[in-house]
Structure 1
Amino acid sequence: MLKKNSLARHGLNIIIVGCGKVGTTLVQQLCKEGHKITIVDKDPSTVQELTNLYDIMGIIGNGASYSVQIEAGISSADLFIAVTASDELNLLCCTIAKRVGDCSAIARVRTPDYSKEVGYLRDRLGLAMIINPELEAAREAARILYLPTALEVNSFAHGQVEMIKFKIPEGNLLDGMTVAHLGRHITNAVLICVVQRGAELHIPGGDFQLAKGDIISFVCPRRMTRSFLECIGVKTKRVSNTMIIGGGKGAYYLGNQLIQMGISVKIIEINRARCEELSTLLPNAIVINGDGTDEELLKEEGIEYAESVVALTGIDEENVLLTLHARQVSNAKVITKLNRISFHDVISQLDLGSVIYPRLITSEAIIAYVRAKTNSKDSNNIETLYHLFDSRVEAVEFRVEKESAVIGVPLRKLPIRKSLLVAFINRNGRIIIPSGNDCIHVGDTVMVVTTHQELMDIRDILR
């Protein structure tokens, strides 16, 4: 066993099996939030590296082994997370953990065969969550292609509210307009939550003046998103065709969703056997066997005329180059999948369009669950959590379950923390974009946007 000198001050006792990209991201975030972490991995160098970097315990071994789980402290664990590269191993680890310990269990499962059975597996195995990063990334990409002006589209209130990120173009109606003017004279159904101007981030007040080149995120009821964008002169027509480069699991999930939306799909994949498999799985897609990094092939397959290009190879550098090439030779909407989260400054300067990080999608869902469980072991009070603008901003949707100091008081009278915005209130399915006179009630779900990290409960919005 590799052991650090001290452990986290408080929080949950969490075991993480699998220290790849997702496991490492979880360790980084959960350590920061004060949890006691034990990692399990077969690779001694990986365990050594992480235990040297973070205040955690490390076990070298097979996470599905009863004796390894006992050594890791399963009997006193609050949460068990299995994120190895194998779906079957993750499910087996969680099954054993549920039998041996009295803890919640989360498994990462990516295979399409299992994705159709998530509800059954979760219920039968007694798991708190089964998460599929490729499927979730595909859903995010599909939402963007449905609204191609957007850089990001995040969903809240079970799909009733969207948070849209886009760049204000030159000559746009919003250029020079204050946030208050937008609410009073254009529409009060939209709230600007975050503005990025150069390297600076702002949670804007009413007197904040928008400008061309600003990257903004706004919330809006889903049914009104298109009409608002059209009102300010932004095109909202969804793409009619897409070229997907790379034929992995993510390409299957995305292709399947786009075909169901009536969008034509062409997939370029270098592996012949995988092409044959995709042709069977997606009979309505065009599947091309070839090297997606070959300029001549891309030209032959019509990249210059594609309305959208999605780079989904397993190599980040290839995805970046493919996106830059697509932007150079076409007017396509581009989406780039990146697995690593390094070189943020370089990536942001490359203007890659919409960038999707599957590992962040996975870790955000798990961290939302952990925060809710930390706050109350019997109550899962965080509905949704997203990290925005390179994780400098959080958007958290809370379920308000009990009386507290925030209940029944007009928002303008609450001592709300600086750099924090109450973005919407969902009251029995009715979406309220709040004014200072609106109150939060028990039973509401409330979305908060803030530069503060680690909000655990709706009461944390107060100073």
Structure 2
Amino acid sequence: MSNVIVVGCGRVGSQLANMLSDNGNNVCCIDKNADAFANLGRNFNGSTVQGVGFDEDVLIRAGVEECDVLAAVTQLDNTNLMCAEVANHLFGVPHVISRLYNPDHERAYMQLGIDYVCGTSLVAEDVFSKIVSGHGSHIDTFGEFEVLRFTLDLSSRDNAKTIRVSELERDHEVRIIAFERADGSASSIPTPDSLLYAGDSILACVRHDVIAQFSRYILD
């Protein structure tokens, strides 16, 4: 369960806030227009704060000091960028995601190290996948798939020390792209018979709809 702030309560923001809330997260939605909160519907069980999403006082009221993820999904690139910068640099929010309308700004976002979703369709689903993947593991999105880099956690398997690549791929419909031993002694593109050890660094391609299940292998 994460503490998430969603800035912007339009179609995308309200959909994202409800998806996150339904997934068991603590969600606070910020919008400068109080009427926008009607988009959340009656079943939303998070909180709301009226105000501008890059205002420090507004963010503090929304719980930014205990926030794990902030998603800025208003309809204005400049507003989303300012929200992301304030959350990241002033409050140290671990994971900040910004919606990006104008692809010409993509290079600037990359240079600033801001995670983003570019486009106008399926934005809520893409941001949701980034948040659910969590653990700072998200690298990129390709259609229905996320590329993740993470430390392998096998504690859910009765503290087993190893797992075979073929087993991990078969049971969870993922593709292991590469791995590096925990001590840095070796790295490799795996074969189906390769053994992965707890603590190894893994690069994997995971379909959106299995990330929640697969996250038990991602070390917090």
1:116 offset after TM fit, Å?
A: 3.4
Deviation at 1:57, TM superposition (A): 0.4
Please give the per-residue CA displacement for 1:3-26, whole angstroms capped at 9, x wherever unaligned. Answer: xxxxxxxx1111111122321232
- Report what 1:320 is aligned to: none
Counterpart selection for 1:109 from 95, 100, 103: 100
Matched, 1:426 2:177: yes
- Which position in structure 2 is the counterpart of 1:21? 11
Structure 1 stretches lacking a partner, 5+ long: 1-10, 134-357, 389-394
Q: Aligned partners of 1:55 and 1:400: how far apart in 2?
A: 31
Post-superposition offset of 1:31: 1.5
In structure 2, the residue matched to 1:371 is 132
Q: 1:408 to 1:110 in 2, by over 3 A?
A: same
2:116 paired with 1:130? yes
Residue type at the aligned position of 1:132: C
Aligned CA distance change for structure 1 residues 407 and 69 (closer, same or farther; 3 Å): same
Q: Which amino acid aligns with 1:421?
A: E
Residues 309-388 of structure 1 aligned to structure 2 (within 5 Å)? 358-360=120-122, 362-373=123-134, 376=135, 380-383=136-139, 388=144
Name the structure 1 match of 2:204: 446
**What do you get for the CA RMSD once the two structures are aligned?**
3.4
In the superposition, relative to structure 1, how do residues 76 and 400 fare at CA in structure 2: closer, same or farther (>3 Å)? closer
Q: TM-score, normalised by structure 2?
A: 0.71
Give the one of 82, 86, 102 matched to 1:96.
86
Q: Could you tell me which amino acid in structure 2 is paired with residue 367 of structure 1?
A: F
| 1:76/1:112 CA distance change after superposition, 3 Å | same
**Counterpart amino acid of 1:409?**
I
- Aligned to 1:85, the other structure's residue is in SS state coil
Q: How many residues align?
A: 202
Percent identity of paired positions between Structure 1 and Structure 2: 20
Structure number with higher strand proportion: 2
Matches of 1:400 and 1:96 in 2, distance apart? 27
Task: Return the letter of the residue paired with 2:162.
Answer: G
Shift of 1:400: 4.7
| Partner SS state of residue 457, structure 1 | helix
Task: Tell me the residue number matched to 1:42.
Answer: 32
- Report the AA paired with residue 118 of structure 2: N
* Closer, same or farther: CA 429–62 of 1 in aligned 2, 3 Å: same
Secondary structure of 2:49's match?
Answer: strand
1:429 to 1:29, Cα distance in 2 relative to 1, 3 A: farther
Task: Please identify the structure whose Cα radius of gyration is greater.
Answer: 1
**1:68 Cα deviation after fit:** 2.0
Distance 1:402 1:381 in 2: 11
State the match for 1:245 in structure 2: none
Out of 59, 81, 87, the residue aligned to residue 49 of structure 2 is 59
Contact 1:398–1:457 (CA<8 Å) still a contact in 2?
no
- Structure of greater relative contact order (alpha carbons < 8 Å, 6+ residues apart): 2
Aligned counterpart in structure 1 of residue 65 of structure 2, from 60, 75, 80: 75
The residue type paired with residue 108 of structure 1 is: R
User: How far is 1:451 from its partner?
Assistant: 6.1
